[in-house]
Amino acid sequence: MRSGRSRQSKWMLFPRLLGRMILLVLFFCCGFLLYNLAQGQFWPFEGQGVMPYSVDKAKDGRDSAGGSGEEKEGGGDEEAWQLILVNKWNPMPEDYQVELTELSNGQSVDSRIYPSLQKMFDDARSQGIYPTVASGYRTARKQKELMDEKIGAYEAEGCTRAEATRKAKKWVAVPGTSEHQLGLGVDINADGVHSKGKEVYDWLERNGYRYGFIHRYPEDKTEVTGISNEPWHYRYVGEKAAKEIRRRGVCLEEYLEEDGDSAGEKK
């Protein structure tokens, strides 16, 4: 009889042990969840599952709280990188280097513009507009591939190689002359679910300058920029320059030329 009671007592202890194990597992799960929330790993409207192909927390831990990316007073060198001019007449410096921050969809941008880009996207989403970065930093090799693809598409339409190349250059920059290689130019489109392209373009046109971004290739500046109108292409120049460019109604080339002339007059 004693052995029977002993076995019965052991079976009665089993539910208690199981309950304690479940509580222990729940305790660790709650701790893990709280830790990741504190680290910013679960961010509303971001991440591949909720908002694919959008600006996300950087993999190195940077976020919009880290700063605005705006130049500090007296930071002449910092302002210089924001206003570097790269176009068909001004290739990027051969020794140019860029530190990149990778976004959730695999695209990358210059780490210095990431906080401003993140803030712009967060504010757009709060207003019901859902932009995504379709293309950020590009290597020279990637830029060449895009150029070759564009030339091939025109050739398929019946254009000669020369004609196809000439037309392609209106839409795709020659490697070494693209702002994408700086990490400062981004192609921004709609997510295709919550917003449409025109909604995003209109919002950027009205608000991009507030975050230091300009519509780089406006329709009425094609002769100056050398690139056809691209409502999706935005370039970071810093808030100060972006506001002036918008106020004057000029493009980056004109802004730099006017400022250069003004500097010469002051001497």
CA distance 37 to 216: 37
**Both tokens of residue 25?**
């597992």
Q: Which domain holds residue 142?
A: 2-266
**Tokens for 208?**
């991009």
Quote the CA–CA distance of 136 and 177 in Å, as a whole number: 15
SS3 call for 94: coil
Catalytic residues: 230
Classify strands 185-190 and 233-236 as parallel, antiparallel or unpaired. antiparallel
Answer whether 156's CB lies under 8 Å from 101's CB: no
Q: What is the pLDDT along the chain (267 residues), one digit of tens a residue?
A: 445 555 555 545 556 666 677 666 566 655 544 444 333 333 333 332 223 334 443 443 333 333 344 443 333 455 789 999 999 999 999 889 999 999 999 999 999 999 999 999 999 999 999 999 999 999 989 989 989 999 999 999 999 999 999 998 888 888 899 999 999 999 999 998 999 999 999 999 999 999 999 999 999 999 999 998 999 999 999 999 999 999 999 999 999 999 876 555 544
pLDDT at 42: 30
How many angstroms separate the CA atoms of 30 and 247, rounded?
51
Q: Which amino acid, 234? A: Y
User: pTM here?
Assistant: 0.68
Our count of domains for the chain comes to 1
Which CATH number do you get for residue 60? Answer: 3.30.1380.10
The pair phi, psi for residue 233, each rounded to 5°, is: -90, 115
Q: What is the pLDDT of residue 49?
A: 25
- The pLDDT score that the predictor gives to residue 262 is 57
